[in-house]
Amino acid sequence: MWNDEILEEIHKYREEYAKSFNYDLHAIVEDLRRKQAARVKQIISKPLKESKKPLQST
């Protein structure tokens, strides 16, 4: 079976994060909400405008 090192690292981090909250989903969600509220910079500030220019082929 093929192993993906990046996916293994993500799974390891996810497991450690969940374990730090004793696998309590409500506590995990609350932590994520707190982190999101603390963000100063928005990831997407406004909707993307549709471009009227056709995509260029390469």
- What is the per-residue pLDDT across 3-36, written as a single tens digit (0 to 9) for each? 899 999 999 999 999 999 999 999 999 999 998 8
Inside any domain, residue 20? yes
Inside any domain, residue 30? yes
- What is the per-residue pLDDT across 45-58, written as a single tens digit (0 to 9) for each? 566 566 566 656 55
Q: In terms of residue numbers, what domain contains 30?
A: 5-38
Which pTM does this prediction carry? 0.60
Inside any domain, residue 34? yes
DSSP per residue, 1-58: ----HHHHHHHHHHHHHHHHTTT-HHHHHHHHHHHHHH-SS-S--SPPPPP-SPPPP-
